[in-house]
Structure 1
């Protein structure tokens, strides 16, 4: 298992597939979620700039088994997106390492705020976010991706956050 930084051909398709299948199996999200991921990742791939955007994938036996991205929204704000680790690799600190590496990128770029959107069912991910200093700032419950879900926004203020990583 290794973590590779930098976007390469094939990464986007693999991560779209992983999101579609894992979130359908684990949380009951339908095909519209995969379409949402595909559209947003396609835009990211077209605009990807390694000077302001971060991309890392987990490779396990030559297969992509996880990812994380930072999308620069402005000179001071970034969005954390598409964070997932395949179940076969969970519980080994890989997600925490991906998250720490992405936050370190944000610090190096001098982003002031990093935000993300998730759904309330992703309890383990929410715990990781909170462990590194993200705070829940918004919730909205509505029908999305085939069921009623509560979307949650988390924000990390890097100017206020300590430099400690877990």
Structure 2
């Protein structure tokens, strides 16, 4: 994608990002309103409590239009967690996800984290393929009912 900027997440992105997650997952996977509540809570916690020296969020934009997000948050001194990785439908399949993942992983490594973890669902096949391509390992997979849907929850890790 041409002329795409990946910039730091700011408070003014919060409402868009919460709505984009809520609407995208409701449309694509039938998630109920509890998903939007969870995302809003994660964003509020990040805005209120994140440590900018070792945690960051990014928003991809093109000509003022937001296209996606990715976050790196601290789990412990050695481990970062990848969160809220999302691309709008028009931004998918064009290499932007790879750029955003590299940005997030590079930040984590530069901050001294030795590993990263993430949680997702098996239905996010393109994301899973991207993680695998970048050296992430699928650590566990289990059936759950979340957000009003039967899902296969996955946990991924990578050593940086």
TM range (shorter): over 0.9
Shift of residue 13, structure 1, vs aligned partner: 1.4
Give, in angstroms, the shift of residue 9 of structure 1.
Answer: 2.4
Query: In the TM superposition, what is the alpha-carbon distance from 1:6 to its structure 2 partner?
Result: 2.1
Say which of 140, 143, 146 aligns to 1:144. 146
Shift of 1:28: 1.3
Query: What is the aligned partner in structure 2 of residue 92 from structure 1?
Result: 94
Question: What's 1:164 paired with?
Answer: none
Equivalent position of 2:107 in the other structure: 105
- Separation in structure 1 between the aligned mates of residue 62 and residue 116 of structure 2, nearest angstrom: 28
Report the aligned-residue RMSD. Answer: 1.2
Matches within 5 A, 1:1-166: 1-158=3-160
Structure 2 residues not aligned, in runs of 5+: none
Query: Displacement, 1:117?
Result: 0.3
Mapped contact 2:67–2:88 kept (Cα < 8 A)? yes
Distance (Å, rounded) in 1 between the aligned partners of 2:10 and 2:144: 35
C-alpha separation in 2, matches of 1:42 and 1:137: 29
How much does 1:121 deviate? 0.3
Contact 1:7 1:55 in 2 (8 A): yes
Farther-moved stretch of structure 1 (61-70 vs 73-82): 61-70
What SS is found at the alignment partner of 2:120?
A: strand
Structure 1 window deviating more from structure 2 (2-11 vs 123-132): it is: 2-11
- Whole-Å Cα distance in 1 between the matches of residues 110 and 100 of structure 2? 15
TM-score (norm 2): 0.93
TM-score, normalised with respect to structure 1: 0.90
C-alpha separation in 2, matches of 1:106 and 1:13: 25
- Deviations, residues 111-159 of structure 1 (Å, cap 9, x unaligned): 011000001100000000111111000122111101111110000111x
Query: Partners of 2:117 and 2:24 in 1: how far apart?
Result: 23
CA shift, 1:48, in A, is 2.1
